[in-house]
Amino acid sequence: MHKGYPKKVIVLSLLSFVVIALALPTPSLASDPFETSCAKVGSQKLENRDLYTCLKIGTVQKWKFTDDGTASFMPFQISGPTWNEIAEQREAEIKAAELLRIQREAEAKAAKAAAEIPKIAGLTIGKLLWSDDFIGSKGSSINSKNWSARNCHRTPGSFGGGACFDAEVVYYAPSAIALDGSADGAAVISTNRVTGLLPSDAGKCLSSYCVFTSGRFDTHGKVAFQYGFIEARIKMPAGSGNHPAFWMLGDNINQVGWPLSGEMDITEIRGNDPRTATSATHFSTIYSANTCCTNHRYLVNELDVGADVTVDFHTYAVAWLPNSISYYVDGKLISTTTPAQVGGHWSFNDKFFLIVNNAVNASFSGSWQNLFSSQMTIDWVRSYQLNGVGEVFTK
Is the same domain home to 190 and 268? yes
- Which bin fits 296, alpha (ψ -120 to 50), beta or left (φ > 0)? beta
Is the same domain home to 32 and 173? no
Boundary residue ending a domain (75, 104, 127):
75
Q: Which domain holds residue 24?
A: 9-75
Boundary residue ending a domain (51, 75, 99):
75
Per-run averaged pLDDT (10 residues), the chain, 395 residues: 38 35 38 42 42 42 49 47 74 82 79 82 95 95 96 63 72 97 95 96 89 96 98 99 97 90 97 98 92 90 98 98 98 97 92 97 94 98 98 96
Kindly report, residue by residue over 51-80, the tens digit of the pLDDT.
444 443 444 444 444 555 555 544 444 445
Q: How many domains are there within the chain?
A: 2
- On whether residue 40 sits in a domain, the answer given is yes
Strand partners, 170: 212
Boundary residue ending a domain (59, 75, 91):
75
For residue 2, what is the DSSP state?
-
Rounded to an integer, what distance in angstroms lies between the CA atom of residue 314 and that of residue 309? 7
Is the same domain home to 71 and 144? no
Is the same domain home to 343 and 236? yes
CATH of the domain at 328: 2.60.120.200
- On whether residue 153 sits in a domain, the answer given is yes
Nearest to 56, CA basis, from 22, 95, 14: 14
Is the same domain home to 33 and 145? no
Kindly report, residue by residue over 225-261, the tens digit of the pLDDT.
999 999 999 999 999 999 999 999 999 998 998 899 9
Contact of 72 with 43, CB cutoff 8 Å: yes
Neighbours of 191 (CB within 10 A): 27
Is the same domain home to 69 and 128? no
Is the same domain home to 38 and 130? no
Rounded to an integer, what distance in angstroms lies between the CA atom of residue 374 and that of residue 85? 44
Instruction: Count Cβ atoms within 10 A of the Cβ of residue 64 and give its class: 0-12 exposed, 13-18 middle, 19 or more buried.
Output: middle
Is the same domain home to 280 and 387? yes
